[in-house]
Chains A and B, each alone.
Chain A
């Protein structure tokens, strides 16, 4: 890892003030630090958000609001999340491994927008709202491509609100070592906008919603309804773990499993 300067922010305003041209925010560090160890990133300054009071989960009535620094393990174990959106708690329980879940945060995951991360699929499928220190951003406007988000350089995620669905579930085919999604599908029967199906791990430009699967499931919410849907392998990732055709097959299978889990 190159030299860097570690700063701990006292609060969000302090963190914003410490953000200059070559500073990066540090949340759980489960992506940023391994990246820095590989010298794929070399920020001159790290601004640690640990003391900024951004953890916590609340039920706001129509939605579940999760603070940006809330760890995956805390989403997993939250009775509030388990009661309102159990599919989200289950998603959190399978991110990485136990040690990653003890450190990694939802804000860090969404700010990074790794094309194989799990939370982007949940945020997109549930039409989440990303609350920053400048504005609120709807999920459909937030994910701009692989590792690209609508966040400005000095913008800090404070919390994420997930509207409560009628039913929701996530199914992932994980890489056996990293546990990242080779393909992960989040299916949500939303309140008022029908079925949303968001795919992660498979698309070469990051998380996306699959219109044809949504249309089929709006007609018949069953795994069998997905049998004849065309799932194109164009614009899917081919790498050492799986080629695009295999990923397209995995997407169909994970979608069916998620539908089944919704019905349970």
Chain B
């Protein structure tokens, strides 16, 4: 297809000294995503976020910046939050990925999702999936997190809409539920 040819031409640096275009690299990966086993051949340079969004069609994870600072792409890798825009899909081989689509229990929202809903923790929603994933790890590791610890703990997630106030309230509310208080 023309668009794919164009993408490949733009992606490969011209005249790298050898005069030959490199053969497109592909690598086999096998991982678990939201509990399901996934096998695929991916370009070596495919980002994990692009694999999640374009190959798996899980578009709840967002690309918000080009500088690895905004956190809209945060997912869980083996239970720990990471920026999926700053990993290659190939690096996730053999690992377990959880996205925003994987945290609800059937029709029942995860307590963190429910808390964001009840406490107006979002406006446009673009940062929200990353916020929720980061906050779940934060509360899991620190069930009695203070307000300051929550504010500091979410330093990897930038929100342009809310001023963070209701995000913090949402996380506090979720913490109560998640620790059974």
B86 touches A177 (CB 8 A): no
Which B residues are in CB contact (< 8 Å) with A1?
Answer: 11, 45, 47
How many Å lie between the Cα of A205 and that of B14 in the bound state? Answer: 33
How many Å lie between the Cα of A5 and that of B88 in the bound state? Answer: 11
Please pick, from A3, A37, A73, the residue contacting B44 in the complex, using a CB distance under 8 A: A3
How many Å lie between the Cα of A6 and that of B43 in the bound state? Answer: 9
Which B residues are in CB contact (< 8 Å) with A46?
Answer: 44, 88
Which B residues are in CB contact (< 8 Å) with A177?
Answer: 67, 69, 158
Within 119-154 of B, Cβ neighbours of A (below 8 Å) are at 134, 137-138, 153
Name which residue of chain B comes closest to A97, CB basis.
B156
Which B residues are in CB contact (< 8 Å) with A38?
Answer: 66
B66 touches A99 (CB 8 A): no
How many Å lie between the Cα of A29 and that of B83 in the bound state? Answer: 11
B86 touches A103 (CB 8 A): yes
A3 touches B45 (CB 8 A): yes
Interface string of A45-86 (1 = CB under 8 A from B): 010101000000000000000000000010000000000000
A48 touches B91 (CB 8 A): yes
Answer yes or no: B74 CB below 8 A from chain A CBs. Answer: yes
Given known contacts A2-B13, A4-B45, A38-B66, is B153 in contact with A98 (CB within 8 Å)?
yes
Which B residues are in CB contact (< 8 Å) with A178?
Answer: 67, 69
Name which residue of chain A comes closest to B69, CB basis.
A177
A30 touches B86 (CB 8 A): yes
A100 touches B67 (CB 8 A): no
Distance from A244 Cβ to chain B, minimum over Cβ atoms (Å)? 24
Which B residues are in CB contact (< 8 Å) with A50?
Answer: 91
How many Å lie between the Cα of A38 and that of B44 in the bound state? Answer: 17
Answer yes or no: B12 CB below 8 A from chain A CBs. Answer: yes
Distance from B134 Cβ to chain A, minimum over Cβ atoms (Å)? 7
A contact patch SS: loop
- Listed residue (A30, A33, A36, A179) with the most chain B CB atoms within 10 angstroms of its CB: A33
Please pick, from B12, B43, B68, B155, the residue contacting A98 in the complex, using a CB distance under 8 A: B155
A33 touches B86 (CB 8 A): yes
How many Å lie between the Cα of A98 and that of B153 in the bound state? Answer: 7
Instruction: Of the listed stretches B19-27, B104-112, B172-180, name the one at the interface; the rest are far from the partner chain.
Output: B19-27
Given known contacts A4-B44, A98-B153, is B87 in contact with A103 (CB within 8 Å)?
yes
Distance from B19 Cβ to chain A, minimum over Cβ atoms (Å)? 15
B153 touches A29 (CB 8 A): no
B156 touches A29 (CB 8 A): no
Within 85-101 of B, Cβ neighbours of A (below 8 Å) are at 85-88, 90-91, 93
Jot down 16 A-B pairs with beta carbons below 8 A, ordered by A: A2-B11, A2-B12, A2-B13, A3-B11, A4-B44, A29-B87, A29-B88, A36-B45, A37-B66, A37-B85, A97-B71, A98-B137, A99-B83, A100-B68, A102-B77, A103-B82
User: 13 new A-B pairs (CB below 8 Å) besides A1-B11, A1-B45, A38-B66?
Assistant: A29-B88, A34-B86, A48-B90, A48-B91, A50-B91, A73-B80, A97-B156, A98-B134, A99-B86, A100-B156, A102-B81, A103-B87, A177-B69
